[in-house]
Amino acid sequence: MSDVTGEAELRCLRRCVELAAQALDAGDEPFGSVLVDGDGTVRAEDRNRVASGDSTRHPEFALARWAAENLTVAERAAATVYTSGEHCPMCAAAHAWVGLGRIVYAASSEQLTGWLNEWGVPASPVAPLPVAAVAWYLWSEASDQYAATTGFSVRAEEVGSAIELLGGVADLSGSSARSDADLLVAFMGSQDMVRTLDTRLDLRARWSLPEYDPIFGFDPSGTIEDLTDYWQRMVRVTHDPGAGLIEVEVRAFAPDDAQMIAAAIFGESSDRINALSAIARADTTRHAERDLAEAEARLAVARTELTAYRSANQVVNPGTDVQGQMGVLATLQQQLADEVIRLDMLKSRRRSNQARGDQAEQRVRVIEARVADERGKIGGGDAQVSAEGYATVVAGFERLQVEREIAEAAYAAAQVAYDVAVAEARRQTRYLAAYTNPTLAERATYPDRPVILGMTAFFATLLWAVGVMVVQSLRDRR
């Protein structure tokens, strides 16, 4: 703000008195005001005009309306209003809502009231209010506060997987970046966040810097609950659910402190969102990992049992092995039949050669022994037992083979489910993307003195009006 000092200020106040004299000559109340911009240039002036019947035509009120229509926000904040008398509650509220800067007056409301009483002038319908005390505290004792701003949003990685490309797996995620942002906003206002940053940065010391400001400073002896309540005053979190943007404004009595606290809030928020992301990924893959482990164990057992069965029966494929052995047995049986016929023919001859007969009998015995041996390998010594042994071996093998195939199918399904879960876990990844880094203030923006003063005047007027109505009501009943 550019201040007008010395002779220039006196000159403006003298002009206010001149305007008050003009108002008095015209039959109005003796008040005049001058609006000066930050460069010291007089931009507008006016006098009281309530004689027209409109009791709101105060010069301070008129200058506030003129400033709202003709000056920018920055120009209004740098401007100064000079007036012959202290603002009434109505004009003080208008001054605050428009956002004008300093107020410099020649006479206070207390002085004016005393003069009017001495002159016997009837009291104004609007009683003077203790606005001067509030204004004195705001501009004399209240410490300047600097604001640092940071903005970020919760983002989700848009990762596509081969599973999705091949199978069109839908997004089955139970959480979203929007719900995570809601959780994060709640966390930033929690006692957990306050306690963590107080441990790291000593918030109590940083927010209790002003020694003579009990209204806006923090009492370092306060409890964690007091510090959390004070946090709500000094940290403002704005969340736009539609756009997913989160903006944090942090106030402190030093610009470096405000920036440091804002950066710490972003860091803690990033750590918390990473923790939420890790929990979501673990929840998504936990059941799939368990199913895959069970399928692997089942497949291992099925393969082990099948290998043991093959070793016990000394076969790789009972069907193929027994089929080959049955072929050998059929050949031997055919040979045996041929030798038996040949032996019978030799015995039927009257002049048979004894040596040839003995040889034929020997061949029959050898072939019979081989047939018995082959039948023993298959499972029995006769045809019935051989068939039963073959059926038992094949049935046992087929049972174990079916169990292995089922275990392999279950393992393949579990592997696909695990791949899907991993793809979903990747989609659960959340992170904070900052669109505004913590700023470093160059001038104090808090407390908003004009607004506070105007609100004080407004509510004081409201209380006074209620009191007047109560008093009048009691009088009417008498």
Task: Give the active site residues.
Answer: 60
Map tokens 């029959």 to a residue. Answer: 364
Burial grade of 385 (CB within 10 A; 0-12, 13-18, 19 or more): middle
For residue 227, count other CB atoms closer than 10 A to its CB.
21
- How many alpha carbons lie under 13 Å from residue 268 in its C-beta half-sphere? 23
Burial code (b: 16+ CB inside 10 Å, e: under 16) for 210-221 equals: beebeebbbeee
**Strand order of the sheet with strand 146-156?**
235-240, 245-252, 146-156, 430-436
Burial profile 281-300: b = 16 or more Cβ within 10 angstroms, e = fewer: beebbeebeebbeebeebbe
Q: Are 103 and 87 in contact (CB under 8 A)?
A: yes
- For 202: left if phi > 0, alpha if psi spans -120 to 50, otherwise beta; the answer is left
| Cβ neighbours of residue 467 closer than 8 Å, sequence gap 6 or more | none
Q: How many CB atoms sit inside 10 A of residue 180's CB?
A: 22
Cβ–Cβ < 8 Å for 386, 375: yes
Q: Are strands 146-156 and 245-252 parallel, antiparallel or unpaired?
A: antiparallel
Backbone angles phi, psi at 240, to 5 degrees: -105, 100
For the purposes of burial, counting CB atoms within 10 Å of the CB of 162, is it exposed (0-12), middle (13-18) or buried (19 or more)? exposed
Cα–Cα dist 213/211, whole Å = 6
- DSSP character string of 367-398: HHHHHHHHHHHHT-SSHHHHHHHHHHHHHHHH
* H or E, element range at 238: strand 235-240
Nearest to 192 by CA among 271, 247, 254: 271
Q: Which ranges of 241-315 does DSSP label H, i.e. alpha helix?
A: 255-313
Alpha carbons 247 and 236: distance in angstroms, whole number: 8
